[in-house]
Amino acid sequence: MLKVDSIEKGIVLDHIKAGKAMQIYKYLHLDALDCSVAIIKNVKSNKMGAKDIIKINENIDINLDVLGYIDPNITVNIIEENKTVEKKQLALPEKIVNVAKCKNPRCITSIEQELDHVFKLADRETGLYRCMYCDHKASKK
């Protein structure tokens, strides 16, 4: 049995779809942190079958839009003194900025390199996002 210690203060990202933890690690730039970050993959879950968990041993600002875009079912638990003091439920954000890149070679973002890649939620049911400039659909990395 794998034992991962609880954290005294920090953030636990729970209910991550199995296999998505490394993508979240990359998107949130968790490699740049000086604190401990634990990634637990394929944990047995009654509700999900299997899930991933990320434990960050520090309270940091997390881009909830990035998390909501990757997996809106993630639960963000804020930990203080070994207790969960807040649980944040996510949703698909209405707009994402510089999370996905437009793949349309004719889009203005391909020419103007410093321009932000902005996508608007086009269909909440399917999680479809479209480029604000050219209407091209976003593809998750």
Mean pLDDT of the chain: 90
Q: pLDDT value at position 103?
A: 92
- Report the topology of domain 10-89: Alpha-Beta Plaits (3.30.70)
Q: At 30, is the pLDDT very low, low, confident or very high (cuts 50, 70, 90)?
A: very high
pTM for the complete prediction? 0.82
> Got the DSSP string for 91-108?
---SEEESSS----TTSH
DSSP-assigned beta bridge partners for residue 39: 54
How is residue 84 written in tokens? 């969960």
Residues in the chain: 141
Q: What is the pLDDT of residues 32-60, one digit of tens each?
A: 999 889 999 998 888 889 999 999 999 98
- Is the pLDDT assigned to residue 141 strictly greater than 70? no
Tell me the per-residue pLDDT of 85-100, one tens digit each, with 9 for 90 and over: 999 989 999 999 998 8
- Which of these, 68, 85, 66, 120, lies nearest to 12 by C-alpha position? 85
pLDDT digits (tens, 9 = 90+) for 62-117: 889 889 998 899 999 999 998 999 999 899 999 999 988 999 999 999 889 899 99
Is 29's pLDDT higher than 70?
Answer: yes
Domain residue limits, the chain: 10-89, 95-131
Cα dihedral sign, 42-43-49-51: negative
Q: Which residue has the higher pLDDT, 49 or 6?
A: 49
pLDDT of residue 20: 92
3-state helix, strand, coil in the chain (%, to 5): 15, 35, 50
Burial status of residue 72 (CB atoms within 10 A of its CB: 0-12, 13-18, 19 or more): middle
Two tokens, residue 6: 């609880």
